[in-house]
Amino acid sequence: MTTSGIKARFLTGLLLAGSITATGSAARAAELNIWVMSTTAQQQQDMKELLRPYLASNPSLRVNVTVLNWESAWSKITAAAASGQGPDILELGTTWVAAISSMNALEPVSQQQQTQMGSAKAFIPAVWGTTHRFDDSTVYAIPWYADARAAFYRTDVFKKAGVNPKEAFTNWTSFKQAMQKINGQVVDGKKMYALGYPGKNDWNVLHNLAPWVWNAGGDFLSADKTHSVINSPEALQAITYYTSFAAEGLVPSSALEKDSTQIEAGFFNGNYAVIFSGSWILKQLTMPKAKGGQMESLAAHNFGIESYPAGLKGNQTFFSGSDLAIMKSSKNKDQAWKLLTYLTSRDAEVTYSKMSAMLPARLDALNDPVLMADPHYADFVAQVKNGRHYPSIPGWGPLESVYLKNIGNMFDIVAGVKGKYSTQAIKQALDTTAAEANDVLDESR
Amino acid sequence: MQFDTFTLRLKKLEVFPYLLLLPAILMMVVVNVTPILQGFYMSLLKLNQYTLSQYLDAPFIGVENYRRILFESHSPIRAGLGFALRNTLLYTLMVSVLAIAIGLGVATLLNRDFPGRNIARTLLLLPWIVPSYVVGTLWGFMWQRDVGIINVVLVDWLHLFDERPFWLLGSNSFWAIVIPTVWRAWPVMMLIFLAALQAIPDDQYEAATLDGVSKWKQFFHITLPLLKPVIVIQFMFQIIDNIYSYNIVSMMFGNGAGHPGEWADLLMPLLTRQSFSYWLFGQGAAVSFIMMVLMLVFVGIWMKSFKRSMTSDD
């Protein structure tokens, strides 16, 4: 008992490096620790606001909120999971639940508790799918919010080029034609590129590619989830189509060295007529410049939202988000569950959605009339039926890292700084990616 | 009786210094030796995502991790290792030589009286004060192809290139990490060389000047030989520092999320990625241990080769 305690501490010390603020104090009955990621502009304050009604009706309870940033959260959470010393409630990115639960760190959500929350039918299906492993029905988390992706386009530029957005986003052929028409349009004295997307120096590399691969009938993992199929003909077709925009000059090659934030800034500044991004941008487009928003920009008054253009095999979009889970090590599981039910309740999810501009994961909150009053928000809600998530497997983390690295490197070819861009070169890059992905999958078995 | 007191005193004499050393030894054991041993033990375990919670109780697999890294070309940890190794060696050598050369050059220039000398020294020291992760982020902006200041200067002002080069993609990304590292490293070299230069007695230069020896010859025949001990030590520190370089690369290419590519990836970012993103902690520990041993061998050879230069009596 003592040895394992010391060991756990060693491990925490080794990996956690400074995030032990919330540990070890769960023993007091009326105190809960929660770790959340920085998703809103003022996460700590927003959490305080979000928890206010609950704390008002539970005056003896104290909730300590620790805000983690997304970049470092993963290592801190794995350290907490491995050492068994962490908070009572944990926010987990949707791709992480299977991994952390496979480390035996999460308290299962019982059937009765699931029924209390409304079970699968109460939540966005793509997000509910992340609360358990694909091959196991034991649920370990409850969906908190969803992150959906769609196309943001400049209505004024489309109009000027005489392109009908509805038609443009119909399928891959019409989308390419529309982009060719729009490329080089001059608006406000500025020559615009048709499309903007980041290349390798970004964490969204795979998320950006996912809908295209899926819509071509491809995938990242085989149906039995044992090996990579990133080099399948379908995936190759999708990736060649996606990268052809950069190769043909419809995406400026300088975009390929930028990250998502810089690409979004490029859209706000009128550098690109179309970008694919998430609902969080809506928050920026409606916030005045003085508060760090883009409300005064031309883009803020001239933008629309459309679904991804349909490929030969579908019209899906990438969904992710966050779930809330209770750690097995929590000494206050009852209280933690009560707080979790509050945070994933309809009202709390609506409030949090207003703060973060993410979609509530709960379907009844998703269609909240106040939220739906914003037509752009409603455009995002319309994506729910097309939502798809990565397979919920414990080894997704390492796999995504392999994809991120290799596909990121592939953009050197697309930018023309590493050999000549061709389908063959892309195929070669994807073969290498698949081989490395399979090695990592084998290794972590 | 008298004999007994003598032995007692002798014993006291023997024990007391060790008692004084004890806190330092304990500190060394806790801070250095224990983590090294623990790291080595980790390298003998199958420590991955599923066994991490067992930590040191994870399955013991002996030298399997070492075998995979060294002899199995299909080991995931080997992917990109060749590039990272090549880059790290070139990067370390280049940064170390440039930082020392620039530091020494500027120190020599500053080692004389001129108005505003102190202000100049302080200003030149500024890059060193900037934390390395800030250097990585800032230079990441400066290297941008379309809006970065570097291309503005090189292409728009100086017309050195017909087309704006990429610095954060392709082989140029090697320079994108070397230059900021040198930029940050030379000022501290300058400071150290300046201190060493001031310790060289003026009369040696005076005698040489009287004999009609040119300034260049004075530099090569007086300054450099007398600075050799400092240069040898600083070169070793630079090598150690740069082989373990992480922050600038990590921040410049997507704040740790992106991949620096085959021309800018270094051993430490690779090792971190393979361990913490691929969750191959056992193999990661094995690579760390190999690196540590190689480093010890290098330091050992270096110290032995330059032992005479490093002793002040020489």
- With beta carbons under 8 A apart, name residues in chain B contacting A253: 145, 166
Inter-CA distances, A166 with A124, A148, A307, Å:
25, 19, 9
State whether B170 and A417 contact (CB < 8 Å): yes
How many CA atoms lie within 13 Å of B17's alpha carbon, on the beta-carbon side? Answer: 5
CA distance B226 to chain A (A): 43
State whether A398 and B277 contact (CB < 8 Å): yes
How would you classify residue B279: left for phi > 0, otherwise alpha for psi between -120 and 50, otherwise beta?
left
CATH number of the structural domain spanning residue A312: 3.40.190.10
State whether B255 and A259 contact (CB < 8 Å): yes
∠ Cα B204 B205 B210 (to 5°): 100
Output the pLDDT for position B312.
53
State whether A103 and B52 contact (CB < 8 Å): yes
Output the pLDDT for position A1.
35
Q: Do A332 and A402 lie in a common domain?
A: no
pLDDT band at B307 (very low <50, low <70, confident <90, very high): confident
CA distance A412 to chain B (A): 6
C-alpha A5/C-alpha A76 separation (Å) is 18
Instruction: Please report where in the chains the tokens 């008298």 appear, as a residue.
Output: B2
CA distance A84 to chain B (A): 8
CA distance A6 to chain B (A): 11
Q: Do A142 and A152 lie in a common domain?
A: no
Q: Do A23 and A172 lie in a common domain?
A: no
CB contact residues (below 8 A), chain A span 104-123, against chain B = 104-105
Provide ipTM, 2 decimals: 0.81
Q: Do A291 and A239 lie in a common domain?
A: yes
State whether B277 and A415 contact (CB < 8 Å): no
Q: How many domains does chain A have?
A: 2
Output the pLDDT for position A72.
76
Residue B160 gets which letter from DSSP?
-
The two three-digit tokens of residue B114, written as one number: 């001129």
Output the pLDDT for position A79.
84
Q: Do A57 and A99 lie in a common domain?
A: yes
Residue B243 gets which letter from DSSP?
H
Contact A387, A317 (CB under 8 A): yes
CA distance B278 to chain A (A): 4
- With beta carbons under 8 A apart, name residues in chain A contacting B278: 398, 401-402, 440, 443-444
C-alpha B231/C-alpha A363 separation (Å) is 68
Output the pLDDT for position A388.
95
Output the pLDDT for position B10.
61
**Closest chain B CA to residue A407:** B259
Average pLDDT in the B240-250 region?
93
CB contact residues (below 8 A), chain A span 144-203, against chain B = 199-203
Q: Do A51 and A86 lie in a common domain?
A: yes
CA dihedral A110, A112, A116, A117 (to 10 degrees): 30
Nearest to B146 among A75, A254, A395 (CB): A254
Nearest to A401 among B52, B164, B278 (CB): B278
Size of interface A-B (CB pairs under 8 A): 134
CA distance B249 to chain A (A): 11
Q: Does B229 lie at the interface with A, CB-CB under 8 angstroms? A: no
More confident residue, B6 or B210: B210
Q: Does A7 lie at the interface with B, CB-CB under 8 angstroms? A: yes
More confident residue, A211 or B47: A211
C-alpha B218/C-alpha B208 separation (Å) is 7
Q: Does B39 lie at the interface with A, CB-CB under 8 angstroms? A: no
List beta partners, residue A195: A274
> Which of A45-54, A309-318, B5-14, B26-35 comes out lowest in average pLDDT?
B5-14
Q: Does B261 lie at the interface with A, CB-CB under 8 angstroms? A: yes
> Options 1.10.3720.10, 1.10.10.10, 3.90.950.20, 3.40.50.1820; which CATH number does B80-279 get?
1.10.3720.10
State whether B49 and A199 contact (CB < 8 Å): no
List beta partners, residue B45: B60
Residue B1 has pLDDT above 60, yes or no: no
Q: Do A362 and A407 lie in a common domain?
A: no
Q: Does A417 lie at the interface with B, CB-CB under 8 angstroms? A: yes
CA distance B37 to chain A (A): 13
Output the pLDDT for position A203.
82
Domain that holds residue A240: 148-318+394-443
**Closest chain A CA to residue B280:** A444
Nearest to A102 among B38, B50, B56 (CB): B50
State whether B48 and A258 contact (CB < 8 Å): no
Q: Does B137 lie at the interface with A, CB-CB under 8 angstroms? A: no
Q: Does A385 lie at the interface with B, CB-CB under 8 angstroms? A: no
Question: Coil, strand, or helix at residue B161?
Answer: coil
Pick from A388, A407, A424: which residue ends a domain?
A: A388
- With beta carbons under 8 A apart, name residues in chain B contacting A405: 80, 259, 273
Output the pLDDT for position B285.
92
Among B46, B247, B259, B287, the residue to mutate for chain A (most A Cβ within 10 A): B259
Pick from A350, A371, A388: which residue ends a domain?
A: A388
Q: Does A409 lie at the interface with B, CB-CB under 8 angstroms? A: yes
Q: Does A99 lie at the interface with B, CB-CB under 8 angstroms? A: yes
- With beta carbons under 8 A apart, name residues in chain A contacting B282: none
CA distance A436 to chain B (A): 6
Tell me, what amino acid is at A307? S
The structure's pTM equals 0.86
State whether B50 and A404 contact (CB < 8 Å): no
For chain A, which residues score pLDDT lower than 50?
A: 1-28
State whether A103 and B257 contact (CB < 8 Å): no
Output the pLDDT for position A273.
97
CB contact residues (below 8 A), chain A span 257-296, against chain B = 257-259
Among B74, B142, B279, B283, the residue to mutate for chain A (most A Cβ within 10 A): B279
Residue B149 has pLDDT above 90, yes or no: yes
Output the pLDDT for position B11.
62
Q: Do A335 and A310 lie in a common domain?
A: no
C-alpha A46/C-alpha A206 separation (Å) is 30
Q: Does B253 lie at the interface with A, CB-CB under 8 angstroms? A: yes
B63-111 confidence digits (pLDDT tens):
999 998 888 887 777 888 889 999 999 999 999 999 999 999 999 999 9
Q: Do A14 and A136 lie in a common domain?
A: yes
Work out the number of other CB atoms within 10 angstroms of the CB of residue B9.
Answer: 10
Q: Do A104 and A204 lie in a common domain?
A: no
CA dihedral B256, B261, B264, B270 (to 10 degrees): 60
